[in-house]
Chains A and B, each alone.
Chain A
Amino acid sequence: MSRHIAAAAIRGSHKIAAEAAEALNMAIAAKGDDYRFEFPDTAFYLPHIFGMTGMKVETLGQMKDALDYAKGMLSAEPAQEEYLPYLGETLDAGQATLFAEEILLASRYVLGLEPVVEKIDGSDFTYNGFISDTILRDLGIQLVDGSMPGFAVIIGKAPTDEIAVEICRDLQQRNILTFLCGNVDGDSVTKQLLRKGVDLGWDARLVALGPETYHALYAGDWACRGALTFGGKKGGDALSVLKYNKDRIFAFAMVLGPMNDLIWSTGAGAITYGFPAICDTEVPEIRPTGVCTYEHVVSQTDHKKLVDTCIETRGLKITITKVPVPVAYGPAFEGERIRKEDTVFEFGGQKTTSFEWVTTKELSEIEDGRIEVIASAETLAKIESAAPGNTVRLPMGLVIDVAGRKMNPDFEPVIERKLHDYVNCAQGVWHMGQRDVNWMRISQQAFGDGFRIKHLGDIVYVMVKNKFPAIVDKVQVKLYLDDDKVKEMQEQARAVYKARNERVASLTDETVDTFYSCLLCQSFAPNHVCVISPERLGLCGAYNWLDARAAYEIDPTGPNQPVAKGECTDPVKGRWKGVDGYVFQTSHQTLEGFSAYSIMDAPMTSCGCFECIVALVPEANGFMIVNRGYTGMTPIGMKFSTLAGTVGGGVQAPGFGGIGKYFITSRKFLSADGGLKRVVWMPKSLKEALREDLIRRSEEEGVPGFIDMICDETIAEDSEKMLEFLSEKGHPALTMESIL
């Protein structure tokens, strides 16, 4: 009966509030009221509390106020009979619990107790602890857009280690990101997986947050920031934040093992986010819907059906493209590394000749679905000899013939670029690079499971057919393994690569009449529009002009639409009548249009998932660029995450903007504002990643050696030092016309 749940949750909330108060008092005793605290790498204070109330808790003293607020949401347990209604009160108790848990965890951080380090089977295991803004931005988008269709928070412990593994594998195969926390008498799913040798971590999409139930709050913190960053919701607008999660973040709690007051109470908090709880024990259910989309609490004692029940209760449909290979397949396996010693087959990587190439053929020339391994008897014998301990290195020519009525050679690189993801998703198969600098490994484990070279062809075939349905009608794959043949084919491919490079170089904003829009991000930044031109790619870095054109062919009514440039009204700033009209309409009349080449005058908007942020540094008369993933300080005194908070949401903010990384080396990069020469600072890693192109571009700009004039964090993290460096180097920006 629900009254039972209500009573337990309300009891739990009182207890955790007391615990939080105690931990906070200890932290204050140690550090004092004014001690400033923030979770590692976040711009959102205590994110849940900020999201719900708008309170910017920065000191231990302020945590007391936040805890008082939480205490205001506590109520008495409902009576046994003739009781007062309890649902609203229970959900408030759940919220109070989340507040208390956040304060408890913050206090524990202050006291040096987080992230938890625990001895597990003799070695130290460090839990993830708080999830940083960077990870949120790296991965969160996939949650919002659905390529990571949901996330599970598992609390507790499965009845056996095998069941724990089965459940987690099942979740991995469905691309779900799984957080682990809680324990039953000290044992937990985390420990069960470790005992079974399962890899944990972000790449595996299995993340151990901490050993206690309250560590689930870290997942809640993440969800809350999803609404704040991607949804553009404001801290304090609790209803919007929570509804955003209900509608767009497909999360659920899976409780393994017996319930207790704190689990119920935390679960009540989760329900306010629209996240239901599915338990593997007999519990009273709450089936009427409304706070969550479907049932709120469901019991499923059959572990075989557990994941299905979770997914159904949350209202998720996950279609996985079934790839006919004998290993698990999905993004959860994308990030795994294969060590040299564990490798059975290896191709390329400068050790053998190799390349991969998508090429267009006539429909009649292709036998759809044909996978051909082309190898001499000698090579085949070598393949036969492969065994654990004996790594076989082979040349590889992976040639994918495609044909389709709407196929266009311009789409070849679009498809080709995806091969990396497709191959990598197979467990025990690893891929790097592209074109003729590719590199692949197949692991012993995969080999033992029956994975053979031909399966690479199967993967490519199935994925290309599935992901490019409107373009590609027929696909066949050839795997050349003999060195001479590979060399011969590589020559052909190289000629095409070269032609393509020339084609891309010749593609300028002036030579096409049509740009493409991308409205994908409107799902979370409702007025944001990307207009993608040959010389300016989408700010997320995932779409260039060719990609967008291909996407339009695949789905003509989809989010990538052709935008006729129309009459050019300002060639310097990059403004066209057609673009402005389109932007006005699709930004729902919030933007009059924008300049493609300027960040100072009506710049393009940013949604929240930019690869890099460009920001004006007035004292240097130039710009700095900082990329996602760089967590250090920048000369304007803000870290990426703080800066990101001021840029996103689909509004024009002159002087600031999100861009795709490769825009930096485009000839049109802020060309109206002085271009590349204005760049005064960027993180070293970014500089290195773009090195060759930067050198090429600075020569074009007539400043050879410019790359060494750009300051980075190893030289200066503050403005003063940076300026010293710039004048020492004679940075061109200092003498350029004033930018303001």
Chain B
Amino acid sequence: MFVRSIALILLLFIHDAFCHNNKNILRGIQSSLLSMYIPSKPFTCLDGTISIPFEFVNDDYCDCRDGSDEPGTSACPNGQFFCENKGYVGITIPSHFVGDGVCDCCDGSDEYENEIICNNTCFELAKKTNEERERRRLLHEQGVAKKNEMIAKAGSIRIERKNRLEELEEQLKRLETDLNEKEELKRQAEEPETAHKDKHQKAWEEERAIRELARRDEQMQDMFNDLDTNQDKLVSIKELQVHTELDNDKENDFTDEEVKTILGADSVTLDEFNSTVFEQISNSYQKITQSVTNEQVSTTESNKATPEPSTEEDHGISDEEKREHSVDDDAHDKNDMDDNLDDIDTKDDIDQPTSLDHTKHVHDDTAPDFDDETKKFIQIADQARNDFKDAEKKVRDVKKEIEDLQKRAEMNLGEHDEFSIMYDQCYDYEEREYTYRVCMFKSAVQIPKGGGSEVTIGYWESWGSEPNKYSVMKYTNGVSCWNGPSRSLTIHLRCGIENRAIDVREPTKCEYAMIFETPAVCDENIGAKLSHQDTHTEF
């Protein structure tokens, strides 16, 4: 930047030729540019900006902003030095490499003034380069042969896939017909099954309703008898008033008025009690004689904060309540958990023993088994259901296979499908601490050798970007790193005879890089490219 401004300023002031004697005035100039450097004429910087006396060329002072006046010295920060490199390839290096003590040209011409002597390595380098070129040519040739095999296999895979797809479509049709049949059979079998089960259920419910009624009546009579302390077959205000637990507002005393509101009269007979009073009080009612015990129980229970079923172990009443409830429910009903919880909640809200101690009288009545006929119908229906499920699964499996094959058909597996045979194949790379396994077009994992669980380092994402799209594979969205990004893997593909991972690194934490050799990226034009290079080589 600075030097550029200086160059600009110098433009204003160029006169008397500066006498400068340099034997190697044309040092570092590319042969194609030699015509621009004519010792008898002023030199015009190659960017055309200024002209300078020719003596300023390679005089170890930078005059041109493009550095073109000093190809053979280190004076310009942006100049270009040309090494002839006889016996090898002529190359251009930054002119600030001139005279820095580092041998950059194989002919050592960049260090012409330096004490260190650079050996001329051009011949060796040419030999090595040729060998390397030959090795590459061979590798690519062999690789391309393999690659063609891979492409050919991809073709047969494609045909196989097509055939298989057709086969599967056929199969699917058949299976779907079968499925429809099985569904009809299932429906037919389930009709009588349902009818018989309903019948059985109805009978049982009726039976249970009768039992329930009897139970209620028993409870009602018990309660009436309990209340009718003077046994005059009437329950009076006085008799009911002692049951303060029935006082709804709890704010004042249980007044005559309030009691009368419940009874609807000064006293009630058994029938009246049955029809108007019992329902009102049955939930809150407590038997006087048991009050002490109940209080104790209530104390125990109020200490338990959570309505866990286990807390009821030491609470006989609740236990029974639960049992009774399960009886009430359909034995198969899986929703009873909710109901149970509701009940427990309710009980907790009240937080007092209730009239449910009457349930002591309840019989242990589970639903009876289905009769033999019903059982037979169930068995037939079960069979039909199973058959239907099997048919369903077959359809599903075939559909899945079709889907997979279609997905694979749509997958970009290389320009000529050359990666096709690698689809689903897994390759391992063994490192000191880990095995890295990449399953192509699926995912990649890191498996610790010392035990421990494997970690997904990426799922197939995409190919790289143009122009060498198919030389890079990206696997992303692996398991997140602590304090870092999601793990990811980039695979760099190189020509090789076999498909194999040859290196895995982690240049940045959790961002892995694999080098993978495969014939799929071997270049069929390598020979042409290498010989094209030859024409530019000056031997």
- Do A and B come from the same complex? no
